[in-house]
Amino acid sequence: MIDFIAIFIYFFAVIDPIGTVPVFIAVTRHHSVQEKRKIALMAFLMSAAILVFFIVAGELILSAMNIPLSAFQVAGGIVLFLFAMQMIFGESKPDQEVKLIKSEQETAIYPLAVPSIASPGAMLAAVLLTENARYHVWEQVQTGLTMLAVLLVVLVLMLAASSVHRLIGNSGASIISRVMGLILASVATANTMAGIKEYFVL
């Protein structure tokens, strides 16, 4: 049995549903209410498909390239830690991705589905939390369902984006993003240490 709360918090930190709200508002500012709903659903489906793909095939790809999962865990932990540091000390997720919107084509795929929802951190988490040697199939399914629950939170927040943004504002989203970064830094450190231990034990 997996720790649903811990995994939910982990995915909540790397996906950052609240930080997606300002991005979604900027992406859809010229669209009608009906079009906004379609964009939100499309972004949800695309990000879910991407992350499920990493759950199913991520470790297989690593095996085909003869990369031990412990090495990937160390690398993933380092990347997640750097990602967390950027969340804490750099520009927040909303600030970064709203800038992407200003310079790129505004679509549900980019930057909304990728990299806002299905972020590099989320992809790494999908692989690390479904390691075949540590988790049996049912536990991997449970992790996948927990991840989808976080994505459903993202979908609900996107559908209610205008109300949420009025409530917390850009400053609130930035604060929450930095708190999630601190949690993610702790998780990344634990993953790196576990990967180093497993690599030298093997």
Longest Cα separation, the chain: 57
Domain spans of the chain? Answer: 4-201
Q: Is 150:15 a contact under the CB 8 Å cutoff?
A: yes
Residuewise pLDDT in 10s, the chain (202 residues): 789 999 999 899 888 898 788 778 767 777 788 888 888 999 999 999 999 999 999 888 888 888 887 787 788 778 778 877 877 887 655 566 555 554 333 557 876 888 788 877 788 889 889 988 889 999 999 999 999 999 999 999 999 987 877 787 778 877 877 887 787 788 778 878 888 887 887 6
**Cβ neighbours, 10 Å, residue 56:** 13
pLDDT of amino acid 159: 93
Of 171, 16, 25, 27, give the one whose Cα is nearest residue 110.
27
Structure token pair of residue 115: 């990299």
